Chain A
Amino acid sequence: MPLPLLRRLSLTTLTLLITLPGACTKPTPAAEKTMVFAAASLTAAFEELAEAFAQGHPGARLDLHFAGTPQLVLQLQEGAAVDVFASADQANMQKVVATGKTTAAPATFARNRLTIVVEKGNPKGIAGLADLSRQDLRVVLCGPEVPAGRYARQALDQAKVAVASRSDEPSVKAVVSKVALGEVDAGIVYVTDAAGAKDKVDAVAIADEQNVIASYPIVRLQCGHAEDPVGEQFVAFVLSAAGQAVLARHGFAAP
C-alpha cells in the first residue's frame, strides 16, 4: 500500500520541519517503553505523575512527549506509536477517537480554568476580563486552533469584551513567556500555567460566571504495544486518588 506510506512520510516530515526544535522528542518509543502523549499544559503535572507511577511500578518505563494538543493529534493521525493520549480538550480527543485506535471511551481526569496573566506587580492595574479591551494594553492569546486560545475567545465573547490579540501564539507557554518578558501587558492562559510561572508573572482571576472550564480527557490507544499493561495501569493511576492528588497540587480541579 504505497499511498498511506507516502502520506505518512509527507505529513510527518512537514510536522518535523516546522515543529519548534526541542519541543518534540522522538515520536516512536523505544521497544520496551510506553509512550505517553500529553498536552503542553500538563507538562509539570505529568512529569510528577510519571515519577510517582514509576515508584509503584518498578519495571515500567514511560516516555513522555509534550506538545500543543493539535500537534499531538496530527502526529497521532500520521502514525506515531502512542499508548496513552491526554488531551487539553474534548474536540481534539474526538479526532483521535475517530481514528478508531482507542480501546475504550476517553475518561475525563481533570479540569482547568482560565486566568489572566500580567507582568509581575500588575503595573497596568488590570482587574478583570473587561480591562483587556483597554486601548493602552497589548494582549496576546493562543491561536484559535489551540484549545486555550479557543476557550479564551469563548470567555471574552461571553463577557462581551472585544480584544485584538497582538499575535496568535502557538502555545500557552509562549503566551506566558511573552508576558514574562514584558513584550505584552496581558495574556489569557490556564490557572495551572500561571501557578507554574508565579515567580515570573502574576495572575488576575477571571470571575466564575465569565470563566470557561476546560476538561482534560485521557485514553488508552492500541497503536502502541497491544499486550503491554503499563499504559492501562498509567491511565488508572491518573484517575486514582493518588494521581488526583498530584494534579490538584498543580492547580487542576477534579473532573
Chain B
Amino acid sequence: MTPAPRFPVLLWLPAALAAAFFLLPLVGLCQRAPWSSLATRLASPAIRDALWLSLQCSAAATTLSLLFGLPLAAWLAAGSSRLRTAVRVLVTLPMVLPPVVGGVAMLLAYGRNGLIGSAAEPWLGFALPFTTPGVVLAETYVAMPFFVLAVEGGLRGLDPRYAEAAATLGAGPGRVFRTVTVPMLLPTLRSGLLLAWARALGEFGATITFAGNLAGATRTMPLAVYTALETDPDAAITLSLLMVGIAAAVLFPLRRHWLPSR
C-alpha cells in the first residue's frame, strides 16, 4: 500500500465550504420535511402519477439519447471539419440555453404551427405539445447533449489503432464499430446514459413550456414540485425528498460508472 498523497492544508477550508454548500439544502429539506405525514403523502395518487410519469419519460428520453446520440457522437468523433464543429455547437446549445428558451424554440419547431410540427401532426395523429411524447421530446432535447458530448469525448480518447488492428484482421467499419469500438466504449456509454437520465429526470423548464403542466399526462415530478410549492410547500418538500431518494437509489449503486475511473 502506498500512502495517499497528503492534502494541502490551504485547500481544506474551501473544500469543506463547497461540500457544506451542497449538504445544507439537503439538510434543510430533511429538517422541514413533514415526516409524520410522509407515508400518506407519498401514497397519494397525485405523487404516484407524477413519479410513474417521470420514470417512464426519463427512461424513454435516455433510450432516444442512446439510439440517436451514439451515431451522432460517432460521426462527431470520426474527424474534424467545420461542419462537425458547427454541429457540435448546435448539440451543446441546449446545455447553455435556459431550458425555457429551449422549450419555446421547440414549440416553434415541433409545435402545432411549428416548422415541422404542422406537417407531422396529421402523420402522428396528434400534436406533440401537451402530450406525454411531448415531455419525452423536451427531456431528450436537454438530456441528449450530455450523452453525446460524453460519448464523443470517450471515442476521441480511444486508441484508433485498435480499430485498425481489427481492420487488418478482416473486419469492415460496421463490424469494427460493433465489436471493438462499442465494447471498449462501454464505461463511457454507461456514465453518459446516467448523466442523460439524471438530467431528464430533473428537467423542468423545457417540459412546462413545450409540454405544459397537466396531471397524469405531462406533470412530471419537477412540475409537481413547482405546482405544489405555490399551494402546499410540505407537499413540495415531500416530492423533492422523493426525487433525492430516487437519484440516490440509482446513482449510488452505479457510482463506479459515472465517477471518473481511478
Contact = CB atoms under 8 A, between A and B. Distances in A.
Whether A and B touch (Cβ < 8 Å) is answered with: yes
Contacts of B236: 14
B113 A18 contact: no
A10 B111 contact: no
Interface string A2-19: 010011011101110010
B159 interface: no
Contact of B98 (A13, A18, A21): A21
A7 B33 CA distance: 10
A168 interface: yes
B154 to A, nearest CB: 30
Contacts of A170: 208, 213, 226-227
Nearest to A20: B100
A169 B211 CA distance: 10
Given A14-B236, A70-B231, A74-B229, A9 B24 contact: yes
B25 A10 contact: yes
Interface in A1-41: 3, 6-7, 9-11, 13-15, 18, 20-22
B28 A7 contact: yes
Contact of A181 (B27, B111, B215, B240): B111
A231 interface: no
Nearest to B100: A20
B221 to A, nearest CB: 11
The A interface, classified by DSSP as helix, strand, loop or mixed, is mixed
Nearest to B130: A166
Interface residues of A, number: 35
Given A14-B229, A166-B130, A183-B111, A6 B212 contact: no
A138 B218 CA distance: 15
Given A6-B31, A10-B32, A15 B212 contact: no
Interface string A69-86: 011001000000000000
B104 to A, nearest CB: 8
Interface residues of B, number: 41
B218 A167 contact: yes
Contacts of B130: 138, 140, 166-167, 183-184
A68 interface: yes
Interface string B217-232: 0110010011101110
Given A14-B236, A71-B230, A170-B213, A7 B32 contact: yes
Contacts of A165: 214
Given A7-B28, A183-B107, A169 B229 contact: no
A33 B81 CA distance: 52
B219 to A, nearest CB: 8
A23 B100 CA distance: 11
B28 A13 contact: yes
A71 B233 CA distance: 11
Contact of B29 (A10, A18, A21, A181): A10
Contacts of B218: 167
A6 B32 contact: yes
B204 interface: yes
25 contacts: A6-B32, A7-B32, A9-B24, A10-B237, A13-B28, A14-B29, A14-B229, A14-B237, A18-B222, A20-B100, A20-B205, A21-B100, A22-B100, A70-B230, A138-B130, A145-B227, A145-B231, A167-B130, A167-B211, A167-B212, A167-B213, A168-B212, A169-B212, A174-B208, A181-B112
Given A11-B233, A15-B229, A166-B130, 9 more contacts: A3-B31, A11-B32, A21-B100, A70-B230, A145-B227, A170-B213, A181-B112, A182-B111, A183-B127
